[in-house]
């Protein structure tokens, strides 16, 4: 009996670990490698993306609001000279190989940056290639929610959003299945993932489910939710785990008492 209860306790712990698993899909990071051919190019960048030098002529400086943000410290950086004015001008410093610039977060989670590369007026010392000036401009990153009928008939328009708190999930009108209307949305077709109410505000956490094209897919759910607690709610997961472990613990305590009495 002791072995059975110990086995039950082990199963409870394994079940707890499975329940708290995440369903988020991470987007692939971008590494924008710039070189002498990058003049006029633009690149959408999100927090965590990087800018680095590619081939020759890819030394770069980065500006935000007309202020140089990289390199901050010119020590050991490649020196450039404004030869259009005078060869005796003070050196201007750029990022070289192995000097990656990582994009930081913006003031708004739904915003990213657009990088625009332009050829600098500054040359390498001795009259070589010109460097690149990269200007970062804050831009709204559009996300799209695609609604899957999940075996039903009809369709609803996608939801597009780029400003926090300004958009809502679809109300599901237009979808039916076996005479039933949509009751809610779920991140999984079988309804085992996180639920979202029809017409509710789109929360910040939704963008963590986006793929690299900033698309999120939600699946229509047509049946009423069971009266039992939803296992996707972290609070309910904790309650269920505590109940399971507590039940196993009570059983083991009872066995110990019997053993002592004997």
- What is the total count of domains within the chain? 3
Average pLDDT over the chain reads: 75
Query: 154 and 172 share a domain?
Result: yes
Dist. CA 23–CA 5, nearest whole Å: 31
Query: 120 and 53 share a domain?
Result: yes
Show the domain range for 201.
142-221
Domain membership of residue 226 (yes or no) is: no
Average pLDDT of the segment spanning 70-95: 65
Query: 67 and 126 share a domain?
Result: yes
Q: Return the half-sphere exposure (C-beta side, CA atoms, 13 A cut-off) of residue 246.
A: 6
Query: 81 and 155 share a domain?
Result: no
Written as six digits, the tokens of 223 are: 């049946």
**158-205 pLDDT, tens per residue?**
998 875 556 899 999 999 999 999 999 999 999 999 999 999 988 877
Query: 216 and 243 share a domain?
Result: no
C-alpha separations of 222 from 54, 180, 202, 225 in Å? 52, 6, 20, 9
Query: 2 and 51 share a domain?
Result: no
Query: 151 and 109 share a domain?
Result: no
- Residue 195: the pLDDT is 96
Query: 130 and 148 share a domain?
Result: no
**19-61 pLDDT, tens per residue?**
333 333 334 578 999 988 899 999 988 878 999 998 777 888 9
Query: 111 and 50 share a domain?
Result: yes
- Residue 143: the pLDDT is 87
Query: 6 and 69 share a domain?
Result: no
- Residue 32: the pLDDT is 93
- The residue written with tokens 């990022």 in the block is 95
């Amino acid at each position: 009996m002791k072995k059975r209860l110990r086995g039950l306790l082990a199963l409870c712990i394994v079940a707890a670990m499975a329940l708290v698993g995440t369903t988020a899909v991470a987007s692939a990071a971008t590494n924008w490698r710039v070189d002498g051919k990058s003049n006029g190019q633009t690149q959408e960048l999100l927090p965590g993306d990087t800018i680095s030098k590619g081939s020759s002529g890819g030394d770069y400086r980065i500006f935000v609001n007309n202020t140089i943000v990289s390199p901050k410290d010119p020590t050991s950086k490649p020196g450039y000279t404004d030869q259009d004015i005078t060869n005796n001008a003070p050196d201007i410093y750029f990022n070289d190989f192995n000097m990656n610039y990582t994009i930081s977060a913006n003031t708004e989670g739904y915003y990213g940056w657009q990088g625009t590369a332009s050829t600098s007026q500054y040359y390498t010392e001795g009259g070589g290639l010109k460097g690149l000036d990269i200007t970062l401009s804050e831009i709204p990153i559009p996300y799209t929610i695609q609604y899957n009928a999940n075996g039903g008939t009809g369709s609803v328009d996608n939801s597009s959003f780029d400003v926090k708190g300004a958009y809502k999930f679809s109300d599901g009108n237009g979808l039916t299945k076996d005479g039933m209307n949509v009751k809610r949305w779920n991140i999984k077709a079988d309804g085992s993932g996180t639920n979202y109410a029809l017409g509710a505000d789109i929360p910040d956490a939704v963008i963590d489910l986006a793929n690299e094209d900033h698309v999120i897919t939600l699946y229509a759910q047509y049946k009423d939710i069971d009266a039992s607690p939803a296992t996707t709610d972290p609070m309910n997961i904790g309650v269920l785990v505590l109940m399971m472990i507590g039940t196993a613990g009570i059983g083991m305590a009872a066995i110990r008492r019997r053993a002592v009495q004997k």
